Chain A
C-alpha cells in the first residue's frame, strides 16, 4: 500500500476535480466542502508518504509497472515529499480562507472555480514528483493554464492581467520545451536519472548548454526572476483575493523547485559544472533580482504590489543560495523556498483580508485606518519577522544558511547582496507596520461589520504558527534536506 502513496497523493485532487461537475450539478453548495475534503485527504496522504520515505528511503514509482526508460517514472524523494506536505497543507489553508473571505466573485460559479483550484493542486503535485523533463513540461502547463484562469476570475482589470500572464507564461513553456528538445537531441534521454549520467560529460556541447539556457529562461518566467517578472505584480494585485494566496505561495515556488531539480539532479555541481559558468549566471541573476526587486518594493504604495515585489526579491535570494554550488547554500535555498511559500501565502491572505474588511489597499490607507484586531497585527508581525529574516521564524535559518553558503564559496558580492536585501526588506516592512499601528488623531473607527468568520482567523494564525514552527524545528527539516542532497555530486 505504502508504495502507491505517490500516485494516490496525485490522484485524490485530480479525481475530485474530474468528478466535481457531476457531483456539484444541481447542488452547488457541495463543491466547497468537497474540494476542502479532497485537499485535506491529500494532506494526510502526503504526510504518510513523507513518513514512509523518511523511514524506508526514496521511492521510484513506475506507472502501470512499465520500468524506465520506457515507462514514466516518478521520483518521490525526501525533497519532493517535504515540498508536497507544504503544497497540500497550504492548499487546505488557502481553501479555508477562500471559502470564508467576502470576495464573492467565485461563489456564482463554484463548479468551475473549485475544479480549476483542484487541477492546479494536482498539477503542482505532478510537477514536484515528475521524474523526467517532458512530464515536468506537461504538469507545468497544467499548473499555468489553471493559474491563468484563476487570475481572470474577478473580470475587469484582472482579464487584461491574466492575458499578459498568459502571453509571458506560454512563451516560457515554449522555451522550456525547446530546451527539453535540445537535451533529447544531444542525449536521447528524458529521464532525470539517465540524463544525470550523460549530461555532465557533455557540458562542453553547445546543444546541451543551449538547452540548459532555454530551460532556465522558461522556468525563470514561471518563477518571476527579476528581468522576466513583468506579469506577476499585476496578476497578483488584480487577481481574486480568495485564490491569490494559493498562486503566490505555490506556483512560482514550484517552478523554482523544478530549477533546483534540473540544476542539481541533472547537471550536478562538480568542478566541471562550475567551470561551465551556469552557477555564476544563476548567482549573478539572483543578486540582481534580490536587490533590484527589494528596492522597487520600497517604492510601492499599493500593499499587494509591495508584497509581490517582496516575493520576487526572495526568488533572487533562493537563486543566490543555489548559485554557490555547495551543500550549505543548496539546503539553505530549499529551506528558504519552503518558508517563502508560507510567507507569501500569509502576506496575500493578510492583504486580501485588510482590503476587504478595513478598505486598506495602500500605505496611505494603512495610516488612516485603525486596526485593533490583535490576531491580524500579530500575524503581520510574525510574517514581517520572517520576511526580514529574524529569529525565531524559519526565514532566519534559511537566510543564515544561504549567507553561510556564500561565505563558504568566497562570494562576498553575493553575501553583500543578501545583507542589503535584508536591510531594504526591513525598510518596507517597518513602513507598513508603523502605519498600521500608529494612532492618529483623526483615525477612522474600526468598522463594525459583524464578526469575522473563524476560518479567516484560523488560516492566518495557522500560517503564523507554521512560520514559528519552521523556525523552532528547523534542525530536523534541514537535516532531512542534507540527507536528501547528500548523494549529489557537490
Chain B
C-alpha cells in the first residue's frame, strides 16, 4: 500500500485528474437536476482534457514557441505541443456538446415545466 501511495503522490497531476473524473461521474449519476447532470458531464470532459495536457508537461520547460528560429532546438526546453493541439480540438467538441445539451434542456423545460428528473418522468407516465 505505501508503494501505491508513493506512486500516487509523486504524480499529483494524475491524482487531480482521477479526483475530477470521479467527482464528475458522481454528480452526473446522483443529481436529479438536468443542468447539474450536465455540470458533472462537463467536469468529466474537462478532467480528460486536463489529463491530455498533463501528458505533455515537463519540468522546467516553456511554451512551445521557438522565438529566434536560428539555433538548434532542444526538445527538453519546450513542452510537447501535440497534446495541447489535441486539447484545443477536444475543447471545441466539448463546447459543441454543451451547446446541444443546453438546447435540449431548454426544450425539455419549455415542454415539461421542470428540470427535475423525477417530475419529468412522472409527467411522461
List residues of A whose CB falls within 8 A of some B CB. 134, 137-138, 141, 145, 148-149, 152, 155-157, 159-160, 162-163, 166-167, 170-171, 173-174, 177-178, 181, 184-185
Contacts and interface: CB of A to CB of B under 8 A. Distances in A.
Interface string B95-109: 011001100110110
B52 to A, nearest CB: 5
B45 A152 contact: no
11 contacts: A145-B97, A148-B100, A159-B104, A159-B111, A160-B120, A163-B34, A174-B45, A177-B90, A178-B48, A181-B55, A184-B83
Secondary structure type dominating chain B contacts: helix
A163 B115 CA distance: 12
Could you say which of A137, A155, A159, A174 has the most chain B C-beta atoms within 10 Å of its C-beta? A174
A171 B108 contact: no
Contacts, number: 73
Contacts of A155: 107, 111
B108 A174 contact: no
A160 B28 contact: no
Contacts of B100: 145, 148-149, 166
A146 to B, nearest CB: 9
A359 B117 CA distance: 30
B22 interface: no
Contact of B124 (A138, A157, A178): A157
Contacts of A152: 104, 107
B51 A141 contact: no
B44 A148 contact: no
Interface string B37-62: 10001001100100110010000000
B89 interface: yes
Interface of B: 25, 28, 34, 37, 41, 44-45, 48, 51-52, 55, 82-83, 86, 89-90, 93, 96-97, 100-101, 104-105, 107-108, 111, 120-121, 124
A166 B37 CA distance: 11
Contact of A171 (B44, B55, B104): B44
Contacts of B105: 163
A170 B86 contact: no
A126 to B, nearest CB: 13
B34 A171 contact: no
A152 B97 CA distance: 14
B52 A181 contact: yes
A160 B108 contact: yes
A134 B89 contact: yes
A290 to B, nearest CB: 28
B26 to A, nearest CB: 13
The 8 closest A-B pairs by CB, nearest first: A185-B55, A141-B93, A159-B108, A178-B48, A181-B52, A174-B44, A174-B48, A163-B104
A167 B36 CA distance: 12
A141 B111 contact: no
A173 B28 CA distance: 15
A148 B93 contact: no
A242 to B, nearest CB: 19
B104 to A, nearest CB: 5
Contacts of B97: 141, 145, 166, 170
A166 B104 contact: yes
A171 B101 contact: no
Given A138-B93, A141-B97, A160-B120, A167 B107 contact: no
